[in-house]
Amino acid sequence: MSNLISNLTSDQNVKQQDTKRILAKKAAEREVLKENRRKERAEKLKERTYVEEFDRGVYDIKNPNTYEIMLKKGLNEEIVREISSIKNEPDWMLEKRLAALKIYHKLKNPNWGPDLSELNMDEIATYIRPKAQMESNWQEVPDEIRRTFELLGIPEAELDYLSGVGAQYDSEVVYHNMKDYLALQGVVYTDFESAVEQYPEIIQEYFGTCLKPNLHRYSALHYAVWSGGSYVYVPEGVHVDIPLQSYFRMNAPGAGQFEHTLIIVEKGGSLHFIEGCSAPRYNTINLHAGGVELFVKEGAKLRYSTIENWSRNMYNLNSKRAIVEKDGVIEWISGSFGSRVSMLYPASILIGEGARSEFTGITFAGAGQTLDTGAQVVHKAPHTYSTVETKSISKGGGKAIYRSLVQVDEGAYGCKSNTDCQSLMLDAQSRGDTIPTIILKNDDVDFGHEAKIGRIDDQAIFYLMSRGLSEEDAKAMIVRGFAEPVAKELPLEYAVEMNELINLELKGAIG
């Protein structure tokens, strides 16, 4: 018996020794493999140099800070009343502002998404009136301000391929003009203050009904201190064949911009609206909390394009929302390049049968940026359709987060929805997250979602280099190709601008 045990023990010993030997061998082999694979990967990834800050050319030109009015920093009832009185507003608008302010004080920063703790409203001036009146002739706009817009190419674009332009400088619109033939067809395109004054019934009926003040903290803030923005009205059956553009420029440091855009496209009408934004860089925090409300009526079509290039000291907490009726179409084209932190998720509420939403977006997050962007679609009516196509690029430690919602409600039968989101990471310091939510409340839906995340395919670089491109050019070409689905949706000149922005961003990343 004792023999048996000792045998067993020695067997076990042998077995244990075997195991140890095999393990040691495996471990040694693995070390070699690890070493080799690391070398291979290092070879692939090579050392890259990063340019922390780079010249963003015309976007960075600062003007001296001379203002007619600059309210003191901070937010309270007194300031809200002051904005209202400067604008000489009707009482109902002041009421709305005060109600929104109450909501703002009740709401907290979201417990999800980017960190907003750095943003302190006590340090933000909510209203800054430039030394300028609103003009409809560029020559009347003060030289300094005009020069800024000229460098941004706005007056030139107006001549070449726009049918109307609005230009906002800090809190007020300094230029607004539209081609006469559109006015003759009943199209209205004006700054939002003029709209409140001239079309009070319409504004009262629509204002704050699509994008509600209680949606989140910064939509409440927007409604409390809104200033500037655009109002567009496209009458039934009218097709605005050439785009309108509103450009928002922020010059003052430590300030906020809160423009309100409200667009109504009546039955069977169509419009392409372009929104551009930029600001020079300062070392203080700036805030942009605009509000966009879009009403797309039966069979109407609205394309809303945005190229956003805020400076890297901007918190861009913008809210955009469209209500789409029967057979109406909303198309969002969204390019997010600038800002320190962005939280932007344009929403389409499809309330009429056959309504459609198409979202195409690109986000490019560089060093120090956290761009949390995406889209929301709520299918509330049967046979409504949506597509979401997004591209995210992150580099130099930038964070690009794709966040979305697709919801199909009870009774919204026969809906189709397709999402495709791709993220490209240009280095190991960067982050790319994908956070989609899908809520389906009936069975008659056709839903698909695809997401991909990764780096530039070495094979693709190899292929292009084998045709004679430098590695840098090959990578740039691949990134441009990646962005192409968005670029092709933009008017040519804007596609060129976007490609320039990408090249500008890439200059720091690849070298």
Q: Which residues bind another protein (CB under 8 A)?
A: 19, 22-23, 26-27, 30, 33-34, 37-38, 41, 44-45, 110-113, 403, 405, 423, 425-428, 430-455
Residue number with CB closer to another protein (38 or 72) = 38
CA distances from 86 to 68, 285, 480 (A): 12, 25, 46
Q: How far is the CB of 212 from another protein (least distance, A)?
A: 13
- How remote is the C-alpha of 342 from its chain's centroid? 7
Q: How far is the CB of 353 from another protein (least distance, A)?
A: 17
Residue number with CB closer to another protein (155 or 346) = 346
CA distances from 205 to 262, 266, 363 (A): 12, 15, 34
Residue number with CB closer to another protein (454 or 481) = 454
Residue number with CB closer to another protein (230 or 386) = 386
Residue number with CB closer to another protein (210 or 244) = 210
257: its two tokens: 């911009």
146: its two tokens: 């005009």
Q: How far is the CB of 457 from another protein (least distance, A)?
A: 9
Q: How far is the CB of 127 from another protein (least distance, A)?
A: 30
Contact partners, residue 290, CB within 8 Å, separation at least 6:
222, 229, 248, 257, 258, 259, 260, 261, 318, 319
Residue number with CB closer to another protein (16 or 470) = 16
* 3-state SS string for 390-437: EEEEECCCCEEEEEEEEEECCCCCCEEEEEEEEEEECCCCCEEEEEEE
Locate the DSSP E strands across 155-269: 164-169, 172-178, 188-191, 229-234, 244-249, 256-257, 260-265
Q: How far is the CB of 117 from another protein (least distance, A)?
A: 16
Residue number with CB closer to another protein (61 or 461) = 461
Q: How far is the CB of 123 from another protein (least distance, A)?
A: 27
Asked whether the CA dihedral 486, 491, 495, 497 is positive or negative, the reply is: negative
Q: How far is the CB of 415 from another protein (least distance, A)?
A: 10
CA distances from 289 to 84, 107, 321 (A): 18, 15, 14
Find out whether 490 and 451 touch, Cβ atoms under 8 Å. no
329-336 vs 301-309, strand pairing mode: parallel
Residue number with CB closer to another protein (167 or 393) = 393
Residue number with CB closer to another protein (90 or 436) = 436
Q: How far is the CB of 451 from another protein (least distance, A)?
A: 4
Q: How far is the CB of 309 from another protein (least distance, A)?
A: 24
Q: Where are the alpha helices (H) located in 265-395, listed in sequence order? A: none
Residue number with CB closer to another protein (98 or 451) = 451
DSSP-assigned states of every residue in 295-329: EE-TT-EEEEEEEEE--TTEEE--EEEEEE-TT-E
Q: How far is the CB of 292 from another protein (least distance, A)?
A: 19
- How many other C-beta atoms are found inside a 10 Å radius of the C-beta of residue 416? 16
Q: For 76, what's the count of Cα atoms within 13 Å in the CB-facing half-sphere?
A: 6
What would you report as the CA-atom Rg of the chain, rounded to the nearest whole angstrom?
A: 27
